Amino acid sequence: MIVTAQIGKSKAIKLPKSILYQVEALRIRAALETTSEKKSSLGQFFTPAPIAHLLASMFEFNKSHLSLLDAGAGVGNLSIACIQEICKRSSKTKSIKLTAFEVDTELLAYLEETYKICALLCKNQGIKFEYEIINSDFIKDSVQKLQQSSEQQLFDCVVMNPPYKKIHSQSDIRFLLREVGIETGNLYAGFLAVAMKLLKADGQMVAITPRSFCNGPYFRPFRELFLKKMALSKIHIFESRKDAFKEDAVLQENIIFSAFKNREIPFVQISSSNKSVDAINSSREIPYSKVINPNDPEMFIHIIPNEIGDWASKNMNYFNSSLSNLGLKVSTGKVVDFRAKEFLRGMPESDTVPLIFPTHFSEGKIHWPKMNSKKPNAIIRNINTEPSLISNERYVIVKRFSSKEEKRRIVAVIYEPSFTKADLIGFENHLNYFHMNGVGLDENLAKGIFVFLNSTLVDTYFRLFNGHTQVNATDLNSIKYPSLEELRTLGKKTPFPISQETIDALVQKELLNKKIALL
C-alpha cells in the first residue's frame, strides 16, 4: 500500500512546543503495544528522540530541493527529526520529498500522524512538503527497482535505523540481495547496501547500527562493497553499551555514522557520548587512512575516540610483524561440545584426555581439572575424536568470547603440557590458540605472546576496531606483533604470577621504550 500527500506553501500556523517529543510519545505508545515476539521477528527497535536528534544533526541538508529516504520508518522519529533540523536552519531548502518504507501495517497510523506534524513544520518555513508512505518490505521493493538498473539514484539523503536480524543463507531475502551484488548475513547490512545503491552521487547517509560490521570476516563482503562507494565522514560511539536502546535491553555496541557517496573525505570526525546519549562528550578529527587503512585487505574500521585510543594506535605502529611473517598461526579449538556430547566426561578416566574450556582459565594459566564444573573436563580418545585433538604441547590460548563483566576484551593464558601425561589434548570451540605451524611454542615465546596480548596497549587498540565481545582468529591475525626476538626477550623478563601493572610496565620498558630509542 502506498499513501502519498502534498502540502504546499501557506500561511504560518502556530505549532505546539516540543514537536519531536510529541512523536516520542507516539513511539513509546507503539513500543508498549508491540509484543517482544513481534519486535524480534522484525528486528525492530524504535529510535528514541535524543538519538533521532543526534542523527539529524549530522546531515548537511544544503540543497534547495531535497529527496529524503527513511527505510524502516517506524513511527517517524527519524523523519521528523530531519524535517525539524531542516526547518531550524537558515538553509536554501525550498521543497522536501520524503519517502518512508514501513512493513508493519500497525504503525501506518502513527506515521500519518507524524507526517501531519512534519507538514505543519514545513508550512511555517514556507517549504513545500511531499511525502509517500510505502507499506512494503524495503529490500524486496528496492531490489525490483535495482534489477532494472544496478544504481537507482533517487535520493539526496538517507536516514536509517535498520532492523537488526540475521538472514538465513537460504532465505528469499538472501537470494534477492545476491541478485543485486550484495552478500551479507544480517538484515541491517542489507538495508545499508540497498540504500547506498539508491543514493545520488554525493548523497549522504546517516544511520544508527550495531558496530559489528566494522571488523571480522562475517561482514567483510559488505565492507568491501559499501566502502568502495561510501566514505565515512562522522562516527559517533556510545561509551555505555546499555543506553542507546535501553528500553529494549539491547546490550550490543551501537554507532551512528555519516557517509557520502563518491566523495573524498580527508578526515573523519569521531565523537562519543555517555549517559546523556545526545550530549557529545568528546570530538576529534582523525585522518581517513587511520580509520580505514588502505593497505588492510580486511578493511577494518578503526574508531579512535580519544587520546588513549590515539596513544594505542600510534604505539602499535611500532610493530610490523604479522603472524605469518613470524611463522605463527591462530586456530580455533576443534572440539564442538554439543556435537561430541556422547564422548564428553565430567572428570578424567582411563580412556580420556584433557578437554580445555574457557572455565579452566585462572590467573594467567590453565587450572585443570575443575571440580564441580558445569563443563566436562575430559573427552574420550578414539577414532571419532582424534581428528579434533592436538598434540599436548605449550600454547597461548585466547577466549573467543569475553563476558560483558570482564574488564579486558582479549583474555589470554598459557597452556602448559606438564600437568598431564597424555600425548593429545582437546581445545573446545570457544577458544583460539597460538601455535607455530602446528607445533607448540617454546617457553619464552609463549610468555612473550601472553604478556603482549594481555597488555593495556593491545586491549585498547583492539577496541578501536572490535565493538563486540567476540575475538575472532581474523581479529588476532590483523594485529601487528613484535619480532620473535622481541617476544622471546619479553618472555625472559616475565615472572609468574604477574600483575597487570607488571605486564604494562614490561611492554613499555622492553618494547615501546626501545622502539622509541631507535627513532
**Each residue of 125-134: pLDDT tens digit?**
999 999 999 9
- The answer to whether the CB of 243 falls within 8 A of the CB of 185 is no
The reported pLDDT for the residue numbered 436 is 96
pLDDT band at 309 (very low <50, low <70, confident <90, very high): confident
pLDDT of 472 reads: 86
What angle do helix axes 500-507 and 456-463 make, rounded to 10 degrees?
90
For the segment 135-156, the average pLDDT, to the nearest whole number, is 87
Region of 496 on the Ramachandran plot (φ > 0 left; ψ -120 to 50 alpha; else beta): beta
Q: How confident is the model at residue 2 (pLDDT cuts 50, 70, 90)?
A: low
Q: What is the pLDDT of residue 13?
A: 39
Task: Summarize pLDDT for 231-242 with one digit per residue, the tens.
Answer: 999 999 987 545
Spatial separation of the C-alpha atoms in residues 319 and 482, rounded to whole Å: 5
pLDDT of 162 reads 93
pLDDT of 100 higher than 90: yes
In the chain, % of residues over pLDDT 70 = 85
Residue 21 pLDDT greater than 70, yes or no: no
The angle that helices 220-229 and 187-198 make with each other, rounded to 10 degrees, is 20
- The stretch 295-311 carries a mean pLDDT of 88
The whole-angstrom separation of Cα 80 and Cα 320 is 49
How far apart are the C-alpha atoms of 296 and 169, rounded to whole Å?
27
- Residue 179 has phi, psi (to 5 degrees) of -65, -25
Check residue 351 and report its DSSP letter.
T
Predicted local distance difference test score (pLDDT) of residue 92: 81
Neighbouring-strand partners of residue 329: 435
The pLDDT value given to residue 226 = 96
What pLDDT, on a 0 to 100 scale, did the predictor assign at position 7?
46
Predicted local confidence at residue 241, as pLDDT? 47
Q: What is the DSSP string of 374-405?
A: SS-SEEE-STTTGGG-EES--EEEEESB--TT
Tell me, what's the pLDDT at 509?
94
Distance in angstroms (rounded) separating the CA atoms of residues 354 and 373: 14
Q: What DSSP designation does 166 have?
A: B
Query: Residue 193: is its pLDDT beyond 50?
Result: yes
Residues 40-63 have pLDDT tens digits of 554 556 778 889 989 999 999 989
| First vs last C-alpha separation in the chain | 66
Give residue-wise pLDDT tens across range 208-252. Answer: 999 989 988 889 999 999 999 999 999 999 875 455 444 444 446
Segment among 14-23, 57-66, 90-99, 481-490 with least mean pLDDT: 14-23
Instruction: Identify the three-state secondary structure at position 426.
Output: strand
Strand, coil or helix: 245: coil
The pLDDT tens digits of the residues spanning 372-384 come to 889 999 999 999 9
pLDDT at 249: 45
CB 100 within 8 A of CB 79: yes
Sign of the CA dihedral running 144, 148, 149, 150? positive
Strands, sheet with 230-238, edge to edge from the N-terminal-most edge strand: 2-7, 128-134, 95-101, 65-71, 155-160, 199-210, 254-261, 230-238, 267-273, 282-287
pTM for the full model?
A: 0.79
Return the SS3 of 230.
strand
pLDDT of residue 463: 87
Kindly provide the residue ranges of all beta strands, DSSP E only, lying in 186-325, ordered along the sequence.
199-210, 230-238, 254-261, 267-273, 282-287
Amino acid at 6: Q
pLDDT tens sequence across 464-503: 887 667 888 989 998 999 999 999 999 999 998 899 999 9
Q: What is the pLDDT of residues 504-518, one digit of tens each?
A: 999 999 999 988 887
Residues 410-462 have pLDDT tens digits of 999 999 999 899 999 999 999 999 999 999 999 999 999 999 999 999 999 99
Q: How confident is the model at residue 201 (pLDDT cuts 50, 70, 90)?
A: very high
